[in-house]
Amino acid sequence: MNQKKAILVVSFGTSHLDTLEHTIGAIERDMKAAFPEYRLYRAFTSRKIVQKLKCTKKIEIDTVAEALERMLADGIETVLVQPTYIMNGNENDSMLEVLMEYASRFQRMRVGKPLLSSPDDYKKAVHAVMEAADLKEDEALVMMGHGTNHHANAAYPTLEYTFHLLGYRQVLVGTLGGFPSLGDVMGKLAVSDYRKVRLMPFLLVAGGHAKNDMVGGEGSWKCELEAAGYEVNVVLKGLGEIEGIRRIFQEHIEEIR
């Protein structure tokens, strides 16, 4: 192994250790296997999650700046940075700002793209999701994304369009904090013939948003859909658990090697 080459995997993070192991952990394990000549480092961009893990679980995770400082101390010269973000939104912008401050301190630094960065990425993600969803003929698939006030929120309607373009017209994509909303999704469901809904997160991890906002108590998407008369079947699986999704991140590393 060339100890001077490394991959830094940057994730928003999660304090839910079950989904952490099955999603971010799985992505990192796959990368380690695919690129054995690179050392692997981990960073989370959510300071709140980093602090929570430290205080409640005694687990220390680096921020991006801390990880880069650690790599410099370890004598790393070539850095490939691969974010596990869904889109080129606020988190990716913030990560790039930090990387710019450190770029000149390494001999070479390259940055991979988030999950949905090209038309091919969308198509590959759609096929990967459909393979994992195991949808029945009489079911609609409703996917819950996070949503953002960043213009990158356009990724969600683009994603739904791509599902339909590839023949999966029974798939609807909504967001917690952007467009389309759950109301928009339910409006489309109301004019369809579907009475059964498979509910799945379009989130890297199946953490707090999936467990609370999607399938939790009153006000959750599951409760709202059931109150509207739909039979709801939940797939509590983060995108990081899907092999085809993990493969897209690997391809993005290949592009920058």
> Considering all CA atoms of the chain, what is the largest pairwise distance in Å, rounded to the nearest integer?
60
Q: Amino acid identity, residue 99?
A: L
| Tokens at 38, concatenated | 């690179």
Q: Amino acid identity, residue 185?
A: V
Backbone angles phi, psi at 251, to 5 degrees: -60, -35
What is the pairing mode between strands 108-111 and 171-175? unpaired
**Structural contact between residues 236 and 210, judged by C-beta atoms closer than 8 angstroms:** yes
DSSP state of 204: S
Q: Alpha-carbon distance 158 to 199, whole Å? A: 19
Helix (H, G, I), strand (E, B) or coil at 94: helix
Q: Alpha-carbon distance 112 to 89, whole Å? A: 14
Catalytic sites, residue numbers = 146
Q: What are the angstrom distances between the C-alpha of 2 and each of 14, 36, 38, 39, 68?
A: 30, 9, 7, 8, 18
List helix spans (H) across the chain: 17-22, 24-34, 47-56, 64-73, 90-102, 119-133, 155-165, 182-190, 208, 221-227, 243-256
